[in-house]
Structure 1
Amino acid sequence: MTQNSPAVRPALTFRSGGWVIALACVLVLLILAWAFAGIFTGHHPKGDGQSVDTYGFDLSNLQTSGGAFVASGNPKDFLRSLDQPKVLPGHEMLAYNAKLRSKYVVTADRVIGVQINGKSRAYPLSLMNVHEIVNDELAGVPIAITFSPLCDSAIVFDRRVNGQPLQFGVSGLLLDSNLVMYDKQPEVVAQTSMDSQNAKPTPQVGMNADQSQPAPAASASSLWSQMAGKAIAGPALATTLGTTLAEIPNVNVCTWKHWLATHPTTEVILPDPQDEQRMKSFSYSRYLLSPRVEFPIGRKSNIADMPDKMPVIAITAGGETKVVTLREAADRGADAPWNFVVGGVPIIVVSQKDPASVLVGASDATPIQVTPCLWFVWQAFHAPAAPDHVLMPSQSVK
């Protein structure tokens, strides 16, 4: 080769680096196949994110009690429920974390703590953010752990309706910015009259005039409101039975450190392998710090000094409800247990600071309903709270 001859580059072979290009091509093809799988198989996500009529639910008997019923921007099952998760003894969490590149649950992480018949289990909010619903069973009781990140509301239900356990999913719809669930039932096949079999489809709600496909067939599923704890649309409303979900009592949201210290035999649920990346990308911290409520609500706060996104805890016992702010509960119960009475039931609050963590219960072991949430959603789903039912900072519980 002379000095002026052009350099000859060695041919690219599989061993010398061609495998990288081949692997990249395979990955691209797999991604494309995944992206278009729904088109080829006919399985399309239900719900366009804008119109409630595109989600395939029967809304003919919708009952919202004046609430704002809207699409969330995501299709049905964009967040898939976690069903029958694996569990780990809580005391093994340190060893479990040591095997991971990024720790799963640490002391300051918030969890939903559930205790039934002496058995306790924790559901980390970092995992609930990417599922919102967990269909589980604890101490022989089928339960649905539900979390609505937009409202920071955690409620656990007995999944049995008329004696039959239901499985719940995320509908992609919201009522007053709150989670709307659906019970997983077989799809109803739309019936077409003989006269219209050969006719050109008439545009309907959720269908453009130039579309050849009709709107989604109505589902046999009913819609259920998390905060209301009852069915709001669908077949469940066709009967007076089975329209309300029984709430599991004594549910708390607190830090993992607080829950483990008070429930040393607790279990904690584990994520699916594919959840790891989603847990990193799902965060509501900026939303919770903002004063703005992103979706419409039907009833505004009647207490001027209470910000919409003030974290509160609603305590229901003996037919009465008191609402306390998380800040007040954390301050009052930090140095010594805070005791007061709701509906004739003695309530005890034990808390930790930095970060604020509160456990609420009845000192005489009476089952009580504890609902942690943001103020705006409690106000939206309940009659305007009387001032003496809401504990503002530096006030006393009556």
Structure 2
Amino acid sequence: MPWLRDDSLVIGYEGGGETFAYPINILNYHEIVNDNIGGEPVLITYCPLCFSGVVFNRIVDGDPLTFGNISALYQSDLVMYDHQTGSFWFQVAGEAVVGPLTGSRLTPLPSATMPWGDWLRLHPETKLLKGTGQSENAFAAGTYANGFGTGYQDRINDEKFVFPVDRDLLDDRLSAGEIVLTVEVAGGQTDYALGDIGDEAVNDEIGGEPVAVFTRSGGLSVGAFSRRAGNCILTFDHDGAGVFVDREMGTLWDFSGRAKEGPLAGSGLERLSIRRSLWFAVAISFPGIKIYSP
């Protein structure tokens, strides 16, 4: 695929003992992928207007749903529908807003976003979504392949939204166009402003769970993990060369949370559920959400 460059963004997912990459070039057109990985029905979603990539479990009330795109928007974000009930779903929130399932929420799953070259180096055996049986150049015009169209983020920061947004729901704690990572554990949620963090390992706690957020490439590469390793709670630093080091054991960890060298080599961190999006969509989806402050 000549259009897939090393710096083209992908959403990465691990399941059933395998890894999978979903290029933003393709998701920019189709926005939704219904997949089944390791026996788990999953939904890969992306909205270019919100720069929002989220992976969900497709099971609601014990039944797997199949999703489509209604080609309409809610709060300037993708609206999905499920084939089984016809309910409409707000993508970033993963919440049904119209129909029989109104108020239901999809469960987000652990995932990662990073440039294709980085994902491939970490997972050389990864499976790759190639799109439909179109021309091999069908997805070459990747306006959002590794970022935004020219001036788009500035426009959103100025609250000049392309489509209607309820301004009463906006939250001025961050600029509307700030790229944030929402990390979710059973005890709560926290947002991390990626523009403020840079290339870093953030050590935090959410709902009593020790959490590490790994970021690189100015926030293009993101992932979140539990800091628990056996009976230890680890504290991480970024060494400046794309490797993370825990202070307690001195083990070297890669961006997928795998211990590569040191006393814990061969072990792995538990990946946590994330949403990566522009701030305005998260603020509308989760009013009053906690924002990380160093």
TM-score (norm: length of structure 2) = 0.74
Secondary structure at the counterpart of residue 105 of structure 2: coil
1:178 aligns to what?
77
Q: Secondary structure at the match of 1:236?
A: coil
Distance across 2 between alignment mates of 1:354 and 1:275: 33
Residue pair 1:329, 1:358 contacting (<8 A) in 2 also: no
Q: Is the 8 A contact 2:12 2:114 kept in 1?
A: yes
Deviation at 1:147, TM superposition (A): 0.5
Report the CA distance shift for 1:262/1:289 in structure 2 as closer, same or farther (over 3 A): farther
Q: Deviations over 1:6-53 (max 9, x none)?
A: xxxxxxxxxxxxxxxxxxxxxxxxxxxxxxxxxxxxxxxxxxxxxxxx
Deviation readout 1:343-375 (Å, 9 max, x if unpaired): 222222333336842222223245532110001
Is 2:285 the partner of 1:390?
no
Q: CA deviation at 1:177?
A: 0.9
Q: CA separation of 1:349/1:275 partners in 2, compared to 1, >3 Å: closer, same or farther?
A: farther
1:266 equivalent in structure 2: 126
Contact 1:130 1:278 in 2 (8 A): no
SS at 2:283 equivalent: helix
Give the structure with the higher percent helix: 1
Within 5 Å, give how 1:107-186 maps onto structure 2. 107-185=6-84
TM-score under structure 1 length normalisation? 0.56
Q: How far 1:267 moved relative to its partner?
A: 1.4
2:106 counterpart residue number? 245
CA RMSD of aligned residues (A): 2.4
Q: Deviations over 1:254-298 (max 9, x none)?
A: 111222233333211112132655423462432345333211222
Bigger Cα Rg? 1
Matches within 5 A, 1:1-398: 97=1, 103-185=2-84, 221-237=86-102, 243-248=104-109, 250-274=110-134, 276=136, 278-281=138-141, 283-284=143-144, 285-286=148-149, 287-291=152-156, 292-298=160-166, 299-303=169-173, 306-331=174-199, 333=200, 337-353=201-217, 356-364=220-228, 365-366=269-270, 368-385=272-289, 389-391=290-292, 395-396=293-294
Tell me the amino acid that sits aligned with residue 190 of structure 2.
K
Structure 2 contact 93–282 (Cα < 8 Å) conserved: no
Q: Following TM superposition, by how much is the alpha carbon of 1:224 offset from its aligned partner in structure 2, in angstroms?
A: 1.4
Q: Tell me by how many angstroms 1:231 deviates.
A: 1.8
Larger strand share, 1 or 2 = 2
Partner Cα separation in structure 2 for residue 244 and residue 381 of structure 1: 11
Question: Which one-letter code corresponds to 1:118 in the other structure?
Answer: G
**Corresponding letter in the other structure for 1:302:** D
Gaps of 5+ in 2: 229-268
SS at 2:225 equivalent: strand
The residue type equivalent to 2:276 in the other structure is P
Distance 2:80 2:285 in 1: 16
Change (3 A) 1:119 1:327: same
Q: Deviations over 1:41-87 (max 9, x none)?
A: xxxxxxxxxxxxxxxxxxxxxxxxxxxxxxxxxxxxxxxxxxxxxxx
Query: Structure 1 residue 379: deviation in Å?
Result: 0.8
Which amino acid in the other structure matches residue 370 of structure 1? I
